[in-house]
């Protein structure tokens, strides 16, 4: 098979591991720089050009779309879908997964456990919004943040009010969330491929002062045994968002596991190095089944 990895850089760990895993299983693999693709949207014959020539024909494409290029990346994936190329995650699922609010709304409809989350536009009802999510301490999040940037813990109503006022003033979309204190700065990343959890790790914030477990914020990862409930929840969440490959983040709360976040282009480095699982290989195996 000829497999394309849609990614900005070939030297990123995840990208190079996917290339390596594809080649190890006897496939041809190439990295396609997402931003160097351009599209011809004509009826009957949609095409993609790449660096001045029509893009080669691929049997399958693995999209690795960074948060900063979601819009353009999703357009490239959509164009590939129009051309009949098998895409590991489709453009609609990528777009859904990237929007924290949209994915939580979809999950809530299906009864998946979530932290209580509020979203508002007007400053007038801030007091009620704060009350709705259980009062302080609470978490305020940028809708399109990643790697823990734009996730703020506020301890008092007064602080919450000022932070919300500031962000509303700047016209950024933010949501307000119940703080899951008992998670103790930890969460569980479940790596889902083709309806199975292929690997899981626990991420723990680096110090007691930090509540964000992101590895980019100094979080420390260890392998973890997940419960059947957590496994089922991760698989269901990926399915509801429509992702074949997903990083599903779960926090352990007093009322059971809750979904914190869904990632459409989860990194491979942390999970592979922590668990020793060949996650890239699992993705390539999924591609083989999907193309067949």
Q: How far is the CB of 42 from Mg ion (least distance, A)?
A: 39
Q: Which is nearer to ligand ADP, 4 or 267 (CB)?
A: 267
Q: Which is nearer to ligand ADP, 91 or 263 (CB)?
A: 263
Q: Which is nearer to ligand ADP, 250 or 280 (CB)?
A: 250
261 lies in the site for Mg ion, by CB under 5 A: yes
Q: What is the rounded CA–CA span in Å between residue 226 and residue 275?
A: 13
Helix, strand, or coil (residue 34):
helix
Query: How many residues interact with ligand ADP (rule CB under 6 A)?
Result: 22
89-118 mask for ligand ADP (x: CB under 6 A)?
A: --------------------------x---
Which residue has tokens 């396609």? 32
Q: Which is nearer to Mg ion, 6 or 259 (CB)?
A: 259
Q: How far is the CB of 126 from ligand ADP (least distance, A)?
A: 18
187 lies in the site for Mg ion, by CB under 5 A: no
- As a three-state string, the secondary structure of 97-114 is HHCHHHHHHHHHHCCCCC
Q: What is the rounded CA–CA span in Å between residue 282 and residue 193?
A: 7
Q: Which is nearer to ligand ADP, 191 or 211 (CB)?
A: 211
192 lies in the site for ligand ADP, by CB under 6 A: no
Chain contacts with Mg ion (rule: CB under 5 A): 261
């Amino acid at each position: 098979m000829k497999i394309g990895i849609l990614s900005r850089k070939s030297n990123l760990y995840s990208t190079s591991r996917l290339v390596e895993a594809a080649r190890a299983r006897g496939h041809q693999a190439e990295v396609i720089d997402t931003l160097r693709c351009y599209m011809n949207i004509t009826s009957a014959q949609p095409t993609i050009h790449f660096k001045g020539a029509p893009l080669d024909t691929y049997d399958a494409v693995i999209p690795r779309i960074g948060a900063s290029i979601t819009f353009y990346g999703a357009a490239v994936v959509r164009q590939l879908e129009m051309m009949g190329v098998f895409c590991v995650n489709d453009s609609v699922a990528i777009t859904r997964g990237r929007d924290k609010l949209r994915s939580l709304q979809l999950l809530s409809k299906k009864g998946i456990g979530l932290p209580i989350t509020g979203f508002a536009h007007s400053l007038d009802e801030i007091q009620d919004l704060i009350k709705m999510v259980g009062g302080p301490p609470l978490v305020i999040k940028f809708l399109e943040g990643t790697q823990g940037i734009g996730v703020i813990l506020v301890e008092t109503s007064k602080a919450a009010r000022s932070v919300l006022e500031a962000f509303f003033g700047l016209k950024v979309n933010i949501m307000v969330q119940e703080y899951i204190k008992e998670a103790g700065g930890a969460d569980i990343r479940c790596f889902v491929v083709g309806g199975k959890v292929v690997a899981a790790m626990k991420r723990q914030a680096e110090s007691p002062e930090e509540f964000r477990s992101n590895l980019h914020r100094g979080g420390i990862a260890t392998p973890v045994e997940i419960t059947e409930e957590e496994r089922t929840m991760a698989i269901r969440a990926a399915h509801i968002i429509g992702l074949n490959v997903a990083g599903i983040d779960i926090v352990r709360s007093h009322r059971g596991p809750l979904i914190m976040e869904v990632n459409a282009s989860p990194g491979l480095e942390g999970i592979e190095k922590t668990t020793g699982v060949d996650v890239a290989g699992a993705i390539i195996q999924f591609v083989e089944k999907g193309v067949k």
